[in-house]
Structure 1
């Protein structure tokens, strides 16, 4: 039995290792291709290891394009992501607290409307939003990318509602007896207890904001305001030769924050999603 169990465990881990390599192969290919000459990247696409290692791709990519260093685009992305993440977390937590703990007229109706927005494709609201922001004079600014996040996000609201429902109502009653109002109850009792859900929402908001391309393409037209998603696209030129090497190099650079965030905060993602499915 011991030998049989050992063989099963070995085969299991070999299968997982092979599957993990299969999932990571596109990233590995991207990393290796960032050290190849631009003109040979797709010619030698079947060869993973570069014949000639071109470290200059990273230098060229970091120098940027359009007269702007790539550091400018990273700073733009960090500003947009930081502001939108704060907005998503604060607004979604407040709305979730209202749905989970407060009683008001039409609560079920508004909750259903909110959940329906999860099934509403962005393409449906894309043009109305563009017209609205155009009338407000917000085009070519980060406002259309940041301000809507301060009105909540349906997925984060639902996640936090499920988490708040796991908190015993007796804690609310005890805090109320001690003189806590609704708002003080929220930030003194509820917020510390839903920290895993808040961390999960923050991580997802960071991911979605960092990789967002459609929003900046719609609203930004000054290269100095571009985030990294649009900066990478600038390395491609249909009229001249595209600098694939520099683009792949900077793609690796832009992946680093994503990997770092996931590596250090993956436990909050698992805890936040798994616990939100429980009921108190």
Structure 2
């Protein structure tokens, strides 16, 4: 009994140490956001500020050249929420088609769709840029939003796995009641794949919110920048970098991600675990 308790204590101690090591950079960034500018890198290991101040949040929120940081947050929410909504709907629709609708060549097409998971993003980056440049979409949100309205293979597979686990008897009962393909999708399938929808929402929100290279590639006006590019503006090799303002706005940029994770954590775990069991 004592040996079992000792193993439990050592296990939790090890997990605690690993957890602290992983979370320490976030704690350090949070602490630095409340430090006076000149003291951030002095005794950097100290998480307790020598002098507590909110000036970093004030200066950071003021932004650059009349563009305050609230504009960057607004842009990020516009891009992220619109792209996420499109991805959720199209992934559910395509997954439903593969899981429930019979058509010629479905197995081959599904295999081709899943195989595109092996395709590196760098391969399609240049052709996409040339295409978007040709149709005049550079310096707009269209290249960042509209491609998300075409379902991604990862989310198609996620939806497919969930829908496969829904008894087909429900579809048959709905058909007896006069429901068609679209009615079954909206009234039967969507309410029963809520964990998959929320999992898609979380992942797509994270990936779009933190995307740096996409906005850097397509956006040219500072007033259209999302938060990821707005943070980069704090770092200027030709002048003095406002580290305090950068850390303060970095903390604020983490809040939407943290809130979503806390609120939907149960659905995220359920979605991932169930996807691995079904099929």
1:232 paired residue number: 231
Whole-angstrom distance in 2 between the partners of 1:185 and 1:278: 24
Partner of 2:209: 210
Counterpart of 1:75? 74
**Structure 2 stretches of 5 or more lacking a match?**
none
Listed as ranges, the matches of 1:174-189 within 5 Å are: 174-189=173-188
- What's the CA shift for 1:43? 4.5
Aligned partner of residue 259 in structure 1, secondary structure: helix
8 Å CA contact 1:163–1:278 kept in 2: the answer is: no
| 1:146 paired residue number | 145
Partners of 1:201 and 1:181 lie apart in 2 by: 26
Which residue number in structure 2 is paired with residue 21 of structure 1? Answer: 20
What is the CA–CA distance in structure 1 between the aligned matches of 2:277 and 2:9, rounded to whole Å?
34
Q: Give the drift of 1:209.
A: 0.9
Count of matched residue pairs:
279
Match of 2:51 in 1: 52
Quick check: 234-243 or 112-121, which moved more? 112-121
Tell me the CA shift for residue 37 of structure 1: 3.7
Cα distance in 1, alignment partners of residues 19 and 100 from structure 2: 42
Q: Whole-Å Cα distance in 1 between the matches of residues 13 and 173 of structure 2?
A: 53
Task: Answer whether contact 1:163 1:277 (CA < 8 A) is retained.
Answer: no
Deviation at 1:39, TM superposition (A): 4.4
- Does the aligned pair in 2 maintain the 1:73–1:225 contact within 8 Å? yes
| Deviation for aligned residue 1:104 | 1.3
Find out whether 1:115 has 2:111 as its counterpart: no
1:113 to partner: Cα distance: 1.7
| TM-score with structure 1 setting the length | 0.95
Is contact 2:39–2:50 with CA below 8 Å preserved after alignment? Answer: no
Q: Which has the higher mean CA deviation after the structures are superposed, 11-20 or 53-62?
A: 11-20
Q: Deviations over 1:57-104 (max 9, x none)?
A: 111001112311111110110111110010000000000001111111
Aligned partners of 1:117, 1:213: CA distance in 2, in Å?
22
Deviations 1:221-268 (A, max 9, x none): 111111000000011101111111100110000001111110110111
* Backbone CA RMSD of aligned residues: 1.5
Gaps of 5+ in 1: none
| Alpha-carbon offset, residue 40 of structure 1 | 4.2
Query: What is the rounded CA distance, in whole Å, between the counterparts of 1:124 and 1:144 in structure 2?
Result: 16
Does the 8 Å contact 1:66/1:223 carry over to 2?
Answer: no
Residue 246 (structure 1) aligned with residue 240 (structure 2)? no
Secondary structure of the residue aligned to 1:58 is helix
In structure 2, the partner of 1:223 is 222
| Partner deviation per Cα, 1:159-185 (whole Å, 9 max, x = no partner) | 110111111111111111211111111
Q: Distance in 2 between matches of 1:52 and 1:28?
A: 17
SS in 2 for 1:276: helix
Q: Distance between the aligned counterparts of 1:47 and 1:140, measured in 2?
A: 42
Whether the 8 Å CA contact 1:89–1:198 is kept in 2: the answer is yes
Q: Does 1:259 align with 2:235?
A: no
Residues 49-58 or 180-189, more deviating: 49-58
Name the structure 1 match of 2:93: 94
